[in-house]
Amino acid sequence: MKCPEYNVEAGMQFIPEIAQDVSIALFAWYGMSCFLSKRMVAEFDRYRLARFRVLTGMLQVAGSLGLIVGHFHRAILLFSAGGLATMMFFGVITRVRIRDPLYAAIPAFALFALNIFIVATAL
């Protein structure tokens, strides 16, 4: 009996949606932690950006919601993913500026790359 052929291209169409869902979950989590976590309060103090903690959390939650809406409206997807990518770009810059070890910037860089991927596949 012959196995049915698997259409690789059809299977690949889900990768951008999975990336989008991962970004939704992570930014919702990180955004909410900006409001609820004492650790995040301490981190923003360490970054010398304490005055931007609540705004950052709001933008991350808003970006996450924008990615949800982006499942149905491509322009909102592009705006939200582009904004989150920009935020993570500055997150990497912040880690470098405060002289954290390079491995500490990996999460921000990974989220930057993930959202750039989302933008690139939505164009």
| Number of structural domains in the chain | 1
Rounded to two decimals, the pTM is: 0.90
In a domain, 100, yes or no: yes
Residue entry with tokens 């002289």:
99
Query: Would you give the distance in Å from CA 83 to the centre of its chain?
Result: 9
**φ and ψ of 89, to 5 deg:** -60, -45
In a domain, 5, yes or no: no
pLDDT in tens, 2-22: 656 656 666 678 999 999 999
In a domain, 20, yes or no: yes
Structure tokens at 37: 């976590």
In a domain, 6, yes or no: no
* pLDDT value of position 13: 81
* pLDDT value of position 12: 75
H or E element, residue 68: helix 53-69
Structure tokens at 105: 């910037």
Structure tokens at 94: 């912040």
